[in-house]
Structure 1
Amino acid sequence: MVNPTRGVLYPARLPQFHRLPAPSSVTDLVAWFWIPEWDIAPGRSSRQEVVAYPALNLVVDADAVTLSGATTRLSHRDLRGSGWAVGALLRPAAVAALIDEPGSLVDDERVLDEGADVAHLRRSVAVAMGSGEGHRPRAVEAFSRWLGQRVGPVGDPARQANAAVEVLMGDGAALTPEEAATRLAVSVRTLQRMTHRHVGLSPGAMIRRRRLQEAAQRVREEPGADLASIAAELGYADHAHLTRDFQAVLGVAPRVYRSETRR
């Protein structure tokens, strides 16, 4: 599984946070499940800042079921009181069953209308989360059963979209849309149609987001690493390009971010 802190800018500030693998029944539908749990003193809050994956998330909490779109900027959530959430980082194959136009949710989210189907998901996950030891795997299992039934059989076009996102975001990912298209044996235009249909972003935007996630993780976790070397290894034109990307999305330069995460 991908490093559980990739995309999380300040891991030391996290409440309890777990990433669980998707059960075998839904590996075509979910990259992983993520579960934060928090209990924050009255009058205080915990701000969680994230460079999110370029993907949709389906999130269940005690009050609602929310579909969150891919993001193109830094996002945050302020946690207060006590609570929990169970989120699924969706693979492209799951998206069509939940929304017709994922591009309409970029940098946005939508609470799903609570008909009987959605209400059942929220209740079953909530029951699992309140069930004591082993509650997280039980919540994931309940979530997975619901999603598998909602999506149904996965066809070849959905599997091809999954493969496209893996080439753009997985280990050894392509550095350019042209490289990704070549690996997939499709045209760049076909690749663009796939990512817009299943994620809502262009292949180039997905590559830029992955590169920034990896850069932030390396700047944070490798204090002795030279920033110019990190930039070159991740496909940035130069150190200045890395700095501009950091400042445009995160609002700070890489050296400032490195010092902040080591306090």
Structure 2
Amino acid sequence: MDAIIRSTNSLGKGILHPSMGDTKFSLNRFPPSPDTSFFIQHYWVIQWDLRGQAPYCQTVIAHPNVNLVVEKETTRIYGVSSATSSHLLKDQGWVVGVKFKPGGFYPFWNAPVSHLTDQSLGIEEVFGLDSLSLEGEVLQQYHHIEQAAHRVDTFFRDRLPERDPNVELVSEIVYGIRDDRTIRQVNDAARMSGLHQRTLQRLFDRYVGVSPKWVILRYRLHEAAERMHQDEANDWTALSLDLGYYDQSHFIRDFKSIVGLSPEEYIRARKV
């Protein structure tokens, strides 16, 4: 796997105020092996050293993905977060994560992923083993993060379920929503996928854990936050229409309901 792994320090979409986080922690991502790539989008490693500094709280607008997080004594599988999630970093530490493809966790669990939304599971509830042995093997690799990602990949290669064709279908639809800004409504996503709206909604409930409407809104808010970070959002009416909203009031309402700040407040906070 070492020959396949590539890393990057780009924080990417969904991480709020990324320029502030850049100075507080590092984020590296590694692709899965060919065997696990049907189910897993990538592995990620976050490291920080804030000894002698104040703790730092990082807020994230979640993606429509289930994650396994390997962390000392708190290794768990996390469903999609319907709102933002905040993570307090202090002292020195690191975590290793698995970002499943949209729908990619379902074959391991065989239960509607919507049951896991805003919830978490211990890995023993899914894989029938204590998390401490995996934690120990992974977290001893602090100075060899490629090996940590490799160990987690091995864990899943040893436990691969049968490939479910709906995983590939759901992933393609979600990535299509992410990449095609003309998809602004659920009927747009249904037309793109060739599925009836109700079929699409049932598929997302079982495999993704959130609705197609949620996914569309979330990716548009990711884009809005990124534009604000890059100082490309000065006209709220134009931005709202570009993102598929009928007016700026609905965009501002949705942004504040998820982020907890209005767009103006978010920009001011970035400049502090």
Matches of 1:171 and 1:26, distance apart in 2: 27
Contact 1:168-1:206 at 8 Å conserved across structures = yes
> Which moved further from structure 2: 7-16 or 193-202?
7-16
- RMSD over equivalenced CA pairs, Å: 2.4
Matches within 5 A, 1:93-242: 93-98=104-109, 100-113=111-124, 115-116=128-129, 118-127=131-140, 129-130=141-142, 132=143, 135-170=144-179, 172=181, 174-223=183-232, 225-242=234-251
Q: Distance in 2 between matches of 1:141 and 1:200?
A: 27
CA contact (8 A) 1:223 1:258 kept: no
Residues 119-157 of structure 1, C-alpha deviations (whole Å, 9 max, x = no match):
453333223x23x3xx22222222122223323342322
3-state DSSP class of the match of 1:222?
Answer: coil
Native 8 Å contact 1:104 1:200 kept in 2:
yes
- Is the deviation greater in 170-179 or in 249-258? 170-179
Judge conservation of contact 2:57–2:86 (CA < 8 Å) in 1. Answer: yes
What is the aligned counterpart of 1:86 among 96, 103, 111?
96
Q: 2:13 — aligned with what? A: 6
Q: Distance in 1 between matches of 2:147 and 2:57?
A: 28
CA contact 1:94–1:151 (8 Å) conserved in 2: no
Which one-letter code corresponds to 1:219 in the other structure?
M
Structure 1 residue 9, shift from structure 2 partner:
0.8
Deviation, 1:94, is 2.8
Question: For the residues of structure 2 that align with 1:198 and 1:101, how far apart are their CA atoms?
Answer: 6
Q: Deviations over 1:165-208 (max 9, x none)?
A: 22233455722221112222111111111110112211111111
Tell me the CA shift for residue 219 of structure 1.
Answer: 1.3
Tell me which amino acid in the other structure corresponds to 2:104: A
- Mapped to 2, the partners of 1:100 and 1:54 lie a distance apart of 17
Q: What is the aligned partner in structure 2 of residue 15 from structure 1?
A: 25
- 2:86 aligns with 76
CA contact 1:25–1:144 (8 Å) conserved in 2: no
Shift of 1:65: 2.3
> 1:68 Cα deviation (Å)?
0.7
Taking structure 1 as reference, are residues 186 and 166 closer, same or farther at Cα in structure 2, changes over 3 Å only? Answer: same
Q: Where does the alignment leave 5 or more consecutive residues of structure 2 unmatched?
A: 1-7
Alignment of 1:38-53 (within 5 A): 38-41=48-51, 44-53=54-63
